[in-house]
């Protein structure tokens, strides 16, 4: 795997190294030791999948409050998405900054989102599917979110948002006090 740093400390783009032959290819997409060598959480306790019927579907921006923070490795396994991580860590030099990258079934890249960052995505194709590897079990009572269009972040979504649920649409404006240190 190739690990590429982003402008937000702890947020990484992870690219598989393809070993190709006449059959196709083989590639590792997870290696706890290699993640640990890059200072990333190598604990894996839960995986989830998100299927999205329509292009222009927005999910997020979500995170879990302390003490249930989770790191995520996000990969698009069908279609394409614009994947976003927003830094909500109070002591971070990049508090409120965001990173966005296209993840697709064809580029096979993944985005590592560390604890303390919110995550969301906008589908760029119909019938997109997103796979998550997570370092902590989801705890419904710890689920939190920040609004996708909050001016504190200024996220430049690359396409029109045509589907979003009411919860994601109605999060309050960001306030650093919401996020545990």
Q: Where are the domains of the chain?
A: 43-173
Pairing of strands 117-123, 19-21: unpaired
Predicted TM-score of the model (pTM): 0.93
Q: Tell me: pLDDT of 178 over 70.
A: no
Give the pLDDT confidence score for residue 181 in this predicted structure.
47
Residue 173 has a pLDDT of: 87
Query: From the candidates 62, 68, 109, 119, which is the catalytic residue?
Result: 62
Q: Is the pLDDT of residue 180 over 70?
A: no
Q: Give pLDDT, residue 175.
A: 79
Report pLDDT for 35. 94
Determine which one of 109, 112, 119, 132 is catalytic. 132
Q: Is the pLDDT of residue 19 over 80?
A: yes
User: Which percentage of the chain shows pLDDT scores above 90?
Assistant: 93
Render the burial of 126-156: b for 16+ CB within 10 Å, e for the rest.
eebbbbbbbbbeeeeebebbbbbebeebebe
**19 counts as catalytic:** no
Q: Does residue 112 carry a catalytic annotation? A: no
Cα 93 versus chain centre, distance: 20
Domain spanning 43-173: CATH 2.60.120.10:
yes
> To which H or E segment does residue 126 belong?
none
The H or E element that residue 179 is part of is none
Question: Would you state the pLDDT for residue 177?
Answer: 59
Output the average pLDDT for the chain: 94
In the predicted model, is pLDDT for residue 169 greater than 80? yes
Residue 76 has pLDDT above 70, yes or no: yes
């Amino acid at each position: 795997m190739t690990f590429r740093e982003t402008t937000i400390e702890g947020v990484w783009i992870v690219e598989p190294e393809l070993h190709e032959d006449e059959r196709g290819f083989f590639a590792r997409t997870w290696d706890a030791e290699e993640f640990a060598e890059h200072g990333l959480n190598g604990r894996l306790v839960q995986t989830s999948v998100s299927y999205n019927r329509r292009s222009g579907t927005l999910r997020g921006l979500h995170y879990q409050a302390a003490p249930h923070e989770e790191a995520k490795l996000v990969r698009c396994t069908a279609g394409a998405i614009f994947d976003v991580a927003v830094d909500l860590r109070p002591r971070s030099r990049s508090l409120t900054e965001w990173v966005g990258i296209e993840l697709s079934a064809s580029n096979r890249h993944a985005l590592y989102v560390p604890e303390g960052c919110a995550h969301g995505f906008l589908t760029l194709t119909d019938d997109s599917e997103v796979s998550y590897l997570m370092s902590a079990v989801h705890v419904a009572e710890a689920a939190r979110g920040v609004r996708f269009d909050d001016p504190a972040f200024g996220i430049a979504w690359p396409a029109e948002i045509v589907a979003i649920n009411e919860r994601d649409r109605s999060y309050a404006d960001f306030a650093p006090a919401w996020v545990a240190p």
